[in-house]
Amino acid sequence: MDILTTIIQNLANGLLIGGVYALIGVGLSLIFGVMRVINFAHGDFVVIGMYSALVIYRQLSLDPYLSLLIALPLGFLLGLVLERIILSPLVDAPEDSTLLATLGLALILQNTLLLIFGAEPNSLYVSYATATIKLGPITLSLIQLIAGAVILVVIIGLYLFLTRSEAGKAVRATAQNRLGAELIGINTLAIHSLVFGFGMVLAIAAGIILIPQLFATPAITGPVFTLKAFVVTVLGGLGNIWGAIGGGLLLGVVEVLGASYISNSYRDAYGLVAFLLVLLLRPEGLFGKTVKRV
Amino acid sequence: MSKFTGLAIFLAVGILFPLLLPGYLSLAITLLLFASWASAWDVLGGWAGQSSLGHAAFVGLGAYTIALSATRFDLAPWWAVLIGMGLAAALAWAWGSLTFGLRGPYFTLSTIAVAEILRLIAINERWLTGGAQGIFIFSLREPFGLDLFDRQTQYYLALAYTVIVIRIIIGFAKGKFGYQMRAVREDEASAQAAGINPTRVKLQAFMISGALTALGGAIYGVFLSFLEPHDIFFLPLSVQIALTAIIGGRGTIWGPTIGAVLLVFSAELFRNIFAQANLLIYGVLILVVILFMPRGLMGQLEHRIIRRRYARSTRS
């Protein structure tokens, strides 16, 4: 009984962490699916979210979850602008070029944050940070539950946007066939900007709900989350948005179970090994239907 | 002008440098190491067209091999260097056999994962690597009476290393293997139709690239004489090596060296302003290069010279 409770507890923790990974991975997968860009700056977008929550908290003493309302629209604009300046000139360039351009963007963002905020770790303390909720034998942390709720809202919102709205249909059309979408009158360049803005919004949301739970440093936290986002999207299939949700939850569970039952010091390695295995054995992702080899 | 004129001038300047500017030896060693790493990276990344973001793994392998064989096994450094290069070639072979089924960006992503796993091993396997605290090289045998901890000796070793790497790449520019690599880079299917085995060519390029990088890693290990897995295996070093080559110009003989001169000097110039944020300059330059001169500095220059020569030849 005791063993069973620990396993359920671990699964619950894994799913809650995995939800954040899913949110980050969905953005990366959306950007790849529509724009064919592997975004090396994605983890740094998460860090931008973390630091925007910090700045808003320090300047306006606003609760981090309320700062979502300010940070998300601003992040969307930032995403639009960055796409216009850096990625839209490269729309017909080989995939290698956009990868390197986002890598350059990542270095610029990391080091700018480093110059502004310094290298010491930062976190945001909320008064209810240690509050927990008991569900029978398992204990869940309140901030992780809030994070889970935010993730659900954001992902359902994205789902409704992509399936119900005219703009969402244009996004999916662009992802399926850019030339075809242009032929029926869709401005695919505008769609690219929109999608990059959305990717930024998802990453910033993830950063804001994470900052009460961990310490962030500009140049280290970014690459860590970029790697996690790659792992998540490859598990789910690159460009497969709903697969990324499964990939995120899976990574969270694998990390927590691996850390408690195998070895905590290799926590980051489990995801990477899974990533390599999927890339080599099933490059279409665990949930993909297509059999096209990459 | 023979194809070795450039290399001869480089060697002459290199030999005279410590006599003219003895105060800048450490900077010069860093520059030579980055020039050679970027050139070695370019064998795989530029000539064979497979961008790796995991070359820090080879630097780490070379450095750790010499450190461990000196401190644990009391092995002479020249054997350690050979073992390190052999291990690097073996690693490249295994790594490439697994991942060369993947193309373009997917290969790049897999290299990051492999290098990160090696870093985690270096941090966690304390019995082998000294763990996260790192490892000291406190004594080395003296080959031919040379003190390897002397900065000047290290400088000449680094210079010899750079000359060897560039000499090998000059060989590729006109040699059969160089043409095979370029054919694979441009179009694997056509290369195959011409009787080239693309996987074998890529594997050989990867093994050469890895072994040469590990050789530099061994010199770097002695130069630092204190190895920390966080520094030496970490993604930023891989990124620096790759970006140095790309900014200088992929698939050219002198491009990676020019990239190294530009980047090492600007990092030195801005050291006081940017302090830890020294990778900012890499970010800015790679964006400028990707957006405005996709062939890199040297590539763009060569391209322009060839076009001008062609225009002149048609006029007369």
Q: Model-level pTM?
A: 0.89
Q: How far is A268 from chain B (nearest CA, A)?
A: 8
**Chain B residues touching residue A101 (CB < 8 angstroms):** 286-287, 290-291
Q: Say whether residue B286 is in contact with chain A using an 8 A CB cutoff.
A: yes
CA distance B108 to B95: 12
Q: Which of B280, B288, B289, B293 to mutate to test the interface with A (most CBs of A within 10 A)?
A: B280
CB pairs under 8 A between A and B: 122
Q: Which residues contact A291 (CB under 8 A, 6 or more apart)?
A: A284
3-state secondary structure of B57: helix
Does residue A230 sit within a domain? no
Low-confidence ranges of chain B (pLDDT < 70): 1-2, 103-104, 143-145, 316
Question: What domain range includes position A147?
Answer: 2-218
Give pLDDT, residue B55: 93
Q: Identify the sign of the CA torsion A279, A281, A285, A286.
A: negative
Give pLDDT, residue A288: 62
Q: How many structural domains comprise chain B?
A: 1
Give pLDDT, residue B104: 64
Question: What domain range includes position B297?
Answer: 5-315
Q: Which residues contact A258 (CB under 8 A, 6 or more apart)?
A: A266, A267, A270
Instruction: Give the total residue count for chain B.
Output: 316
Contact criterion met (CB below 8 Å) for B184 and B251 = no
Q: Say whether residue B124 is in contact with chain A using an 8 A CB cutoff.
A: yes
DSSP-derived letter for residue A209 is H
CA distance B300 to B250: 10
Low-confidence ranges of chain A (pLDDT < 50): 291-294
**Chain B residues touching residue A111 (CB < 8 angstroms):** 274, 277-280, 283
Q: Do B290 and A115 touch (CB under 8 A)?
A: no
Q: Do A99 and B108 touch (CB under 8 A)?
A: yes
Give pLDDT, residue A292: 44
3-state secondary structure of A216: strand
pLDDT tens for residues B257-274? Answer: 999 999 998 888 887 777
Q: How far is B208 from chain A (nearest CA, A)?
A: 23
Does residue A114 sit within a domain? yes
Mean pLDDT of chain B: 87
Type of residue at B168:
I
pLDDT tens for residues A22-38? Answer: 999 999 999 998 998 99
Give pLDDT, residue A1: 53
Give CA B59 to chain center in angstroms: 9
Q: Say which residue the tokens 């995801």 belong to.
A: A271
Torsion of CA B67, B72, B78, B83, to 10 degrees: -80
Q: Do A280 and B102 touch (CB under 8 A)?
A: yes
pLDDT tens for residues B113-144? Answer: 888 888 888 888 877 777 777 777 777 777 66
Contact criterion met (CB below 8 Å) for A118 and A110 = no
3-state secondary structure of A263: coil
Does residue A73 sit within a domain? yes
Give pLDDT, residue B232: 78
Torsion of CA B107, B112, B115, B118, to 10 degrees: -110
Q: How many structural domains comprise chain A?
A: 1
User: Of B102, B287, B290, which has the smallest distance from its Cβ to A279's Cβ?
Assistant: B102
ipTM at complex level: 0.86
Does residue A287 sit within a domain? no
Question: At CB < 8 A and 24+ separation, what contacts does B197-200 make?
Answer: B199/B100
Contact criterion met (CB below 8 Å) for A142 and A133 = yes
Phi, psi of B100 (to 5 degrees): -75, -5
Phi-psi region of A192 (alpha: psi -120 to 50; beta: other; left: phi over 0): alpha
Q: Say whether residue B17 is in contact with chain A using an 8 A CB cutoff.
A: no
Type of residue at B212:
L
Q: Do B283 and A101 touch (CB under 8 A)?
A: no
DSSP 3-state helix, strand, coil percentages of chain B (rounded to 5)? 80, 0, 20
**Chain B residues touching residue A272 (CB < 8 angstroms):** 113, 116-117, 120
Q: Do A104 and B277 touch (CB under 8 A)?
A: no
User: Of B108, B110, B239, which has the smallest distance from its Cβ to A276's Cβ?
Assistant: B110
Q: Which residues contact A252 (CB under 8 A, 6 or more apart)?
A: A13, A14, A15, A16, A17, A18, A19, A20, A21, A22
Does residue A243 sit within a domain? no
Give pLDDT, residue A104: 94
